[in-house]
């Protein structure tokens, strides 16, 4: 039981999805965790304190101004006690208060006072989840390192269908198990320089059109954040994205594969690890037009394509080759065999392969699953947040550096 002995504070906010929390509490306890529950004022309308007390063996907490508890600075002690703070369900209101940094009840005060990792399992109407204010709050929290689990899509209590359902307890447990199964990485990459490419490239056809792909850059940015958290000096060479730069990371913006190649070569000096996460276009128009191509009534047009530089292969073959070179492979069929072949063909120390034919992981999602392939082993990582997956990959890189 990877949660054995772990201190989990479970925050519950007031949404209909709170009916799932007793099942989540039960599974946490069955996995060996010690659980404290904290309710917002409206959460008790959906799940009773008696139920939670029976499942955890501890009375739930809800009041920030509890004279008996606060005589011993109870909220600070609870913040220090926690190994992880999970809020499930996390309503739009609670997410907004967390994004604003408010501390107007016990739960939001704990979120600011604890050094423990914070995870949210959002739950709300699909239209609320899609609202620009909610999405801006989610982006802000992600940028601060908050883990977002879900939400799932499907039929909702209001009758709507779409994304907004709270992730199932089993999914939340999987995220926590992955977090606590990983070895602490703090300081493991101190003194190391890591260069990471991320996002798509854009290959111009004319001044208004280009060829690109579906990469959001999320996995590459998660890799940059994880490497920085482990103490590395991180350079993030990024194609066009709408993502915020992880704290402490130096970002170099590029557009095309040729731009990315030049930026990579400029950063190779004294680089210990290169991680090619970017989805680089294999081909580009041979002769981009300097004026917009007009629609012709005569029929179709053809565009001659030429091959782009192979960035990661050039890094692996460079005289200034980093100690560890890591590649990513996005495959749609025979994923493992294609990745094995690619690793050998390009001279990589490690390749990370995922099946992008799956709609629930990979491009433009917040979760991923992958297999790590190196000289002597293959490790399968189940579906989890991209932040969590990045931590597991960084751990594998630390091991490779130790063996070099």
Catalytic residues: 158
Please state the length of the chain: 404
Q: Residue holding tokens 């999320």?
A: 218
Q: Is the dihedral of CA 113, 119, 180, 106 positive or negative?
A: positive
Local structure of 95: helix, strand or coil = helix
What's the rounded Cα separation, in Å, for the pair 401 and 382? 24
- Cβ distance 27 to 173 under 8 Å? yes
Contacts with 326 (C-beta within 8 Å, 6 or more apart), sequence order: 273, 274, 275, 276, 348, 349, 350, 351, 352, 393, 397
Q: Is the dihedral of CA 131, 132, 134, 138 positive or negative?
A: positive
Local structure of 55: helix, strand or coil = helix
Bridge-partner residues for 10, per DSSP?
A: 37, 86
Q: Residue holding tokens 């009534």?
A: 297
What's the rounded Cα separation, in Å, for the pair 128 and 134? 7
Encoding tokens for residue 299? 């029929």
Neighbours of 190 (CB within 10 A): 10
CA separation (Å) from 210 to 155, 162, 204, 372, 390?
38, 31, 4, 32, 30
∠ Cα 224 244 382 (to 5°): 50
How far, rounded to the nearest angstrom, does the alpha carbon of residue 239 sit from its chain's CA centroid? Answer: 18
Backbone angles phi, psi at 58, to 5 degrees: -135, 140
SS (HEC) of 96-109: HHHHHCCCCCHHHH
């Amino acid at each position: 039981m990877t949660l054995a002995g772990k201190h989990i504070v479970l925050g519950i906010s007031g949404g209909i999805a709170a009916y799932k929390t007793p099942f989540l509490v039960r599974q946490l306890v069955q996995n060996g965790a010690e659980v404290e529950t904290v309710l917002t004022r409206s959460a008790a309308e959906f799940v009773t304190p008696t139920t939670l007390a029976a499942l955890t063996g501890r009375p739930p907490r809800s009041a920030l101004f509890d004279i008996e508890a606060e005589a011993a600075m109870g909220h600070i002690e609870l913040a220090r006690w926690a190994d992880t703070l999970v809020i499930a369900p996390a309503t739009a209101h609670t997410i907004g208060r967390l994004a604003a940094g408010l501390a107007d009840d016990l739960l939001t005060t704990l979120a600011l006072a604890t050094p423990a990792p914070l995870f949210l399992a959002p739950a709300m109407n699909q239209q609320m989840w899609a609202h620009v204010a909610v999405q801006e709050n989610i982006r802000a929290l992600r940028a601060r390192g908050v883990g977002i689990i879900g939400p799932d899509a499907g039929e909702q209590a209001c009758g709507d269908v779409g994304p907004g359902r709270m992730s199932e307890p089993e999914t939340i447990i999987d995220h926590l198990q992955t977090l606590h199964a990983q070895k602490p990485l703090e300081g493991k990459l101190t003194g190391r320089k890591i260069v990471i490419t991320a996002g798509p490239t854009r290959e111009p056809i004319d001044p208004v059109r280009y060829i690109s792909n579906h990469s959001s850059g999320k996995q590459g940015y998660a890799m940059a954040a994880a490497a920085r958290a482990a103490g590395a000096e991180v350079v993030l060479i990024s194609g066009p994205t709408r993502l915020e730069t992880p704290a402490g990371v130096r970002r170099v913006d590029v557009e095309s594969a040729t731009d990315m190649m030049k930026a990579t070569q400029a950063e190779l000096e004294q680089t210990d690890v290169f991680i090619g996460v970017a989805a680089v276009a294999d081909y580009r128009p041979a002769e981009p037009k300097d004026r917009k191509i007009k629609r012709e009534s005569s029929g179709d047009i053809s565009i001659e394509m030429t091959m782009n530089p192979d960035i990661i292969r050039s890094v692996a073959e460079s005289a200034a080759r980093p100690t560890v070179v890591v590649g990513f492979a996005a495959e749609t069929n025979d994923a493992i065999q294609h990745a094995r072949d690619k690793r050998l063909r390009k001279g990589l120390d490690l390749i990370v392969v995922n099946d992008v034919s799956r709609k629930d992981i990979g491009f433009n999602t917040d979760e991923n699953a992958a297999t790590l392939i190196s000289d002597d082993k293959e490790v399968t990582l189940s579906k989890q947040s991209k932040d969590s997956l990045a931590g597991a990959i960084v751990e594998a890189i630390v091991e490779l550096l130790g063996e070099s």
